[in-house]
A and B are shown apart, each in its own frame.
Chain A
């Protein structure tokens, strides 16, 4: 890294130098993207696995895919922009979006599912089974921790700004 920085500070940056900078970032971003939702997204597209998965999830398959794509996008962007102020802003945005999505998807911590009659488990005509789960307390703790995470990222961003004020801004990517 030091060699690269030295090279960059010296002569004109070559494509090879940029490749040396960008390739590890891209690989790292791909790895983290795969870890932070990519594997679920791939699995959800496999009919045998995805079908079973969506049977137990209280959200629409399309909604779930969009949710995963959004998080993968955030993670990949954060990893690509390491060393700049953007990851802090993106992490803050991600925490905020997760809070909103979680509250919306879980209906404020009270989820209700209606069990339908199936050929395997037939129900008498007119009979209905409703399963309701209330986890408002757990959701509140999660939201509180997300808020703390937002505060942490804001403080990190301030710290980063203070540090760069002293050491100077890093070189911009092409």
Chain B
């Protein structure tokens, strides 16, 4: 019995020593890899808008210089609105990075502009910010899991028609077939790409009788307002309704809006 107990004691001691040696090397190695040599690195975030998709790309580079394998390397990002609603979420996983190997993956987060702006029309004209929660996690040596979560990182949102304002209509002119009006429109494109849209006009006389409708094309490069003055060219349906004064109903249509956005009513005389 004494021999068996001694053997058991020796087994426990050796196993404990092995466990501590493994823990020490694993912790040293993970600190060296992730903190000292920056083996797990996030590249520069790129934002682009393509085909009505607002896309955020984050390159994830994992260079395993440690003694053990890195598995289940996972990056998760969740973009939420100011009110807390989830706008988009995605997870990118690298199954395994063996020691001495370097792997790069691109983490993408995309939002459909049509869905976003249809549900939150104010984003079309108001600059704001989104909140981003991101986490990066990995398993080291198959037994130790690490996760770093960064909450409430703010991401600015630049409105494509920031501070849109219709200030007035001037110089109404009827040329026999069309009613021509100069529309004073102010806004600045704060988004990540050039914006295009169509302004729809409906003309009415003072008594509210419909006169006709027209439209004008709108284009604004990044960081500036419309490059050309806006002219409302109204195709008149019923000439007898023209009284020389009335109002215009203006709406904006862009490729990322399901339905045109009503901008309001402008008087002319």
Contact = CB atoms under 8 A, between A and B. Distances in A.
B152 A134 contact: no
Contacts of A149: 9, 12
B165 interface: no
A155 B145 contact: no
B1 A155 contact: yes
A126 B152 contact: yes
Contact of B152 (A127, A135, A137, A155): A127
Interface of A: 124, 126-135, 137-138, 141-142, 145, 148-149, 151-152, 155-156, 158-159, 162
Nearest to A144: B15
Contact of A138 (B9, B144, B153): B144
Among all A-B residue pairs, the 10 with the closest Cβ atoms: A134-B145, A137-B143, A132-B147, A130-B149, A126-B152, A128-B151, A155-B5, A152-B8, A148-B12, A152-B9
A142 B19 CA distance: 8
A131 B147 contact: yes
A159 B2 contact: yes
Main secondary structure of the interface of A (DSSP, over half): helix
A124 B154 CA distance: 9
Interface in B1-18: 1-2, 4-5, 8-9, 11-12, 15-16
27 contacts: A124-B153, A127-B151, A127-B153, A129-B151, A131-B148, A132-B137, A132-B148, A132-B149, A133-B146, A135-B143, A137-B143, A137-B144, A138-B144, A141-B15, A142-B16, A142-B19, A145-B12, A145-B15, A148-B8, A148-B12, A148-B15, A152-B8, A152-B12, A155-B4, A155-B5, A156-B5, A158-B1
B8 A129 contact: no
Nearest to B10: A152
A93 B15 CA distance: 21
B23 interface: yes
Contacts of B152: 126-128
A148 to B, nearest CB: 5
Contacts of B15: 141, 145, 148
Contact of B5 (A126, A131, A159): A159
Interface in B124-159: 137, 143-154
Contacts, number: 77
Contacts of A133: 144-147
Nearest to A157: B5
B70 to A, nearest CB: 15
Nearest to A148: B12
A147 to B, nearest CB: 10
Interface in B149-173: 149-154
Nearest to B8: A152
Given A142-B19, A152-B9, A156-B5, A129 B144 contact: no
A128 B148 CA distance: 10
Given A128-B152, A132-B149, A155-B5, 8 more contacts: A126-B152, A128-B149, A129-B151, A130-B151, A134-B146, A137-B144, A145-B12, A145-B16
Nearest to B144: A135
A152 B5 contact: yes
A145 B20 CA distance: 12
B8 A155 contact: yes
Contacts of A162: 1
A162 to B, nearest CB: 8
Nearest to B145: A134
A5 B66 CA distance: 58
A134 B145 CA distance: 5
B148 A130 contact: yes
A106 to B, nearest CB: 13
Nearest to A156: B5
A127 B10 CA distance: 50
